[in-house]
């Protein structure tokens, strides 16, 4: 996707120096490439959002099924961070 955007930038900057039909054609291609990249970006965003919702639901279910284990792990992580931060002073 990054290369698609870079190609579109190059095309549009080259078209900025041209005039006439060729420039219009290059601008059109550049805009098409950018639109395509934006569409892919939206698709990836939708996929990431769906995955994060699934992970949040799985985490919520785990905490509800194992509340004491979750509290113990959180306390252990807090204690470990406290020891590490306390030594660094």
DSSP 4-51: HHHHHHHHHHHHHT--SHHHHHHHHHHHHHHHHHHHHHHHHHHHHHHH
Average per-residue pLDDT for the chain: 84
Kindly report the pTM of this predicted structure: 0.53
At residue 50 the predicted structure's pLDDT band, cuts being 50, 70 and 90, is very high
Residue 89's pLDDT is: 61
More confident residue, 65 or 38: 65
At residue 65 the predicted structure's pLDDT band, cuts being 50, 70 and 90, is very high
Task: Say whether pLDDT at 58 is over 80.
Answer: yes
């Amino acid at each position: 996707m990054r290369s698609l955007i870079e190609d579109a930038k190059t095309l549009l900057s080259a078209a900025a120096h041209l005039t006439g039909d060729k420039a219009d054609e290059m601008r059109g291609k550049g805009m098409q490439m950018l639109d395509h990249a934006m569409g892919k970006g939206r698709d990836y965003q939708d996929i990431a959002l769906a995955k994060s919702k699934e992970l949040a639901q799985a985490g919520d279910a785990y905490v509800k099924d194992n509340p004491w284990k979750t509290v113990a792990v959180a306390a252990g992580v807090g204690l470990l961070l406290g020891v590490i931060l306390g030594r660094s002073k």
